Structure 1
Amino acid sequence: MTNVELTPEEAKLLLEVLERYYPSLRIEVVNTDDREFRRALKAREAFMKDMIVRLKEAGA
């Protein structure tokens, strides 16, 4: 496992970036016909959602 330490400002900015990109990713998942690509996008979506939750829990 890799650990990354972020300042509160960095964590807040990262959260903003993830929250801004997440809705676009959802749309891309829905509009993708290729099953393998959709599977990869869904994995990325799950990762991003987890990161958003973790950053919020950490107080970002």
Structure 2
Amino acid sequence: MIQLDLSDKETKHLIETLESYLSDLRYEIADTDSADFRERLKEKKAALEKVLAQLKTI
């Protein structure tokens, strides 16, 4: 397990960055033609959504 010591401001910036990236990633998933690539993007999206959910509870 990795632990990060982030200030409130850093946490806020990281949350905003993840939310923005996830929004873009949703479009990328929808636009890709490769099933394998789409699955990898979906796995990445799920992992980042989990991180984002944990950050929002701090």
Q: Does TM, scored on the shorter chain, surpass 0.5? A: yes
RMSD over aligned CA atoms reads 1.1
Tell me, in whole angstroms, the C-alpha distance in 1 between the residues paired with 2:23 and 2:3.
Answer: 27
Identity, % of aligned pairs?
36
Name the structure, 1 or 2, with higher relative contact order (CA <8 Å, separation 6+). 1
Q: TM-score, normalised by structure 1?
A: 0.84
- What is the one-letter code of the residue matched to 1:15? I
Superposed CA offset, 1:26-50 (max 9, x none): 0101111111111110011101111
User: Would you say how many aligned residue pairs link Structure 1 and Structure 2?
Assistant: 58
Using the TM superposition, give the Cα deviation of residue 10 of structure 1 relative to its aligned residue in structure 2, in angstroms: 0.7
Consecutive unaligned residues of structure 1, counting only runs of 5 or more, are none
Gaps of 5+ in 2: none
Aligned partner of 2:28 in structure 1 is 28
